[in-house]
Structure 1
Amino acid sequence: MEMDVRHLRTVDTIATEGSLSKAAATLGLSQPALTTQLQRIERHFGGQLFRRGRHGAVATPLGEFVLAKARLVLPAVDELNREAGRYAAGFSAAMPLRYGAVPGPLMAGLLQRLASRSVTAVSMRTEPSSLVLADLVAHRSLELAALLEYVDYPVGLAADIERRVIAVEPAFVLLPADCPLAERAELELSDLRDASWVLPPLADNGLRDTLDKACAPSGFRPRLAHEADASGARDLIASGHAIGIGQASFRATPGIAVRAIVGSPLRVRHSLIWATAGPIAAMADQVVSAATGAYDAAVRRSRPYRQWLSRHSRSELAS
């Protein structure tokens, strides 16, 4: 007899139900038919998998070994069946495109455009970590993700994942609106030597290393006073407890002044990623166009970035 997934599922069901009679009912078999099938499986493995008695069916050491292996295989097979069905059937309202994003201009902006262009139904997942999003795409838990990376610290991707860069922009300083430094259009990093900083608790996007490296020529290391997610950081900055780093396309927030850094030493890359063999590949150009539109709309809403662009060229960001 050749072992297949059906046989492994039979063994797992017997162990889960704890008796052949209950397992037979679950599997839709008569108890004699299940007993015969189990005997064939045991002959294949060369020993008894369950001891049957008054208290039901209890796995033998060989049975425990087979069960451990089966319970690794069965979830993978189930996932394969689900994902293959998604890709073969295409998307529908019952099977939305799973989209993940780091908070930023592509998060809600791309979601809105995908929905308005009727590409497909879309479900949204936000994550502070681009590494987590890349892992979710690699394991086919997401079809599409929008990453935020500091340019010297790109997220490593599996060979079967495609990255499309939507934009590169400077990172700006976020200051309390009543801070004297907010009177200037652009700041030197050395102006921030004595400031208290708030940064995200996750350091996997390269921000901290990039900031330390940028400040080193000015002879200081930023003093980290607080760690907070994006919402908490905005509150701390607006209330005057800290300064922070934000995207040039940062949306206007009461109590916060957004100011450029001379020389743009910190640069942020906005990218989309998807599996090359996944369903996004067939609509990649449409999705990238939607993402570009979302980003451009965010730039138009950002007065500080528009002012920076009036004084500088985006080509500076490629150097």
Structure 2
Amino acid sequence: MELEVRHLRVVAVVAQQGSIPAAAATLGVSAATLGSEVGRIERALGCTLFRPSGDGIACTAIGERVVSRARTVLDEVAALREDVRTHRASDAPLRITSDSMRYFTSFVSHAYATDMRRPLMPVPPLAGGTTTEAISDGRVDVAVVIALVADPREERARSMIGERVIVEREPLLVALSASHPLAAQRCVDIRDLAEEDWILPPSEVDPGSEATSTVLARLGVTLRSSYGPHDLGPLWPAVVAGRAVSFAVPTASAPPGGVLRPLCDQPITARRILRWRLGALDDEDVERCVRAAGSAYREQLTHTAQTQGWWPTARSDEKPILAP
């Protein structure tokens, strides 16, 4: 009988478990079948690998040497398989997205311009759930997300995926009808909007999250919504008509009849982060994505925020701070 990798795994598992029944349970075979297999392996090698020891078995002197070599080979085989898996992944299209449709278009455009080494597969912003969850469960490879500062989900995300901050601090704005009584103010106190009907965005910026709820509770504010989570874009008509208000990011663009205003004292801020599933990108592609994400954000600031009415009068702490 020629030794095979599966025989080495048998030897390693038996040595680790210290008994045939326990090793058989681990390998998913009967104790009798495993005992026969161990006998065949010993005959093929021409030596005794295990001896009785108490209620189980232990390695003989030569058995310890065989088990040590077997584990080395098994580790090398595992590394070989990982190399092959990584190589296959490097040939697959890179699935990229963001949690904002307006930003998504610009991010994808700049990603193509960076001459990525892998073909790109743009994935439109996902409806429902969070984009970070889509990265961790394998639906996308890399994305730019807007994440609330101090959100507990941040800690969990760091253990699963890689990340680079694109915007260190992104103050949230409020979207109002131009005819709203507060629209003429330079900034709006969120407490003055406590009785409004809110459109809640279906992204990492979730006004129902623990982080936001804690901030609002300190201010004595509870938001109500008859709209549920929706993108602001399709629901701008409700805002323009004065039926709702919404959070918005600085790169949003208000249509005629709508305005954006900073929140006084900036009670809620976010960060814009590039996140990727560990192993999905190499270091060079990470840097390309970082450049694309930063360029897309600067482009949006120029084309949208800096042409909106709130920008010229906003204080420096009411404007985004980009990562270096």
- TM-score (ref. length: structure 1): 0.63
The Cα shift of 1:243 comes to 0.7
> In the TM superposition, what whole-angstrom CA distance separates every residue of 1:164-215 from its partner, at most 9, and x where no partner exists?
1111211111111221211112011222133222214x58654224444344
Residue in structure 2 matched with residue 127 of structure 1 by the alignment:
126
Note if contact 2:141-2:280 (Cα within 8 Å) is conserved in structure 1: yes
Distance 1:275 1:282 in 2: 15
Match of 2:267 among 265, 268, 272: 265
Residue in structure 1 matched with residue 109 of structure 2 by the alignment:
112
The Cα shift of 1:248 comes to 1.7
Change beyond 3 A, Cα 1:203–1:250: closer
Change beyond 3 A, Cα 1:165–1:178: same
SS at match of 2:208: helix
Residue in structure 2 matched with residue 207 of structure 1 by the alignment:
207
2:311 counterpart of 1:306: yes
Aligned 1:232-311 pairs, distance under 5 A: 232-300=234-302, 301-302=304-305, 303-304=308-309, 306-307=311-312, 311=315
The residue identity in structure 2 corresponding to 1:112 is S
Task: Indicate the larger mover: 238-247 or 113-122.
Answer: 113-122
CA radius of gyration, larger in: 2
> In the TM superposition, what whole-angstrom CA distance separates every residue of 1:102-144 from its partner, at most 9, and x where no partner exists?
016642211000112321432222124574x333333444221
Aligned 1:67-78 pairs, distance under 5 A: none
- The answer for unaligned runs of 5 or more in structure 2 is 7-28, 34-81
> In the TM superposition, what whole-angstrom CA distance separates every residue of 1:257-299 from its partner, at most 9, and x where no partner exists?
1110111111121111123433343322222112111111111
The two structures, once aligned, show a CA RMSD in angstroms of: 3.5
The residue identity in structure 1 corresponding to 2:240 is A
2:186 counterpart of 1:181: no
Match of 2:100 among 95, 103, 107: 103
Note if contact 2:197-2:225 (Cα within 8 Å) is conserved in structure 1: yes
Change beyond 3 A, Cα 1:274–1:141: same
SS at match of 1:259: strand
- TM-score (ref. length: structure 2): 0.63
Note if contact 1:102-1:130 (Cα within 8 Å) is conserved in structure 2: no
2:169 counterpart of 1:172: no
SS at match of 2:226: strand
Distance 1:178 1:286 in 2: 44
The Cα shift of 1:82 comes to 9.2
User: Percent identity of the aligned residues?
Assistant: 18
Change beyond 3 A, Cα 1:187–1:135: closer
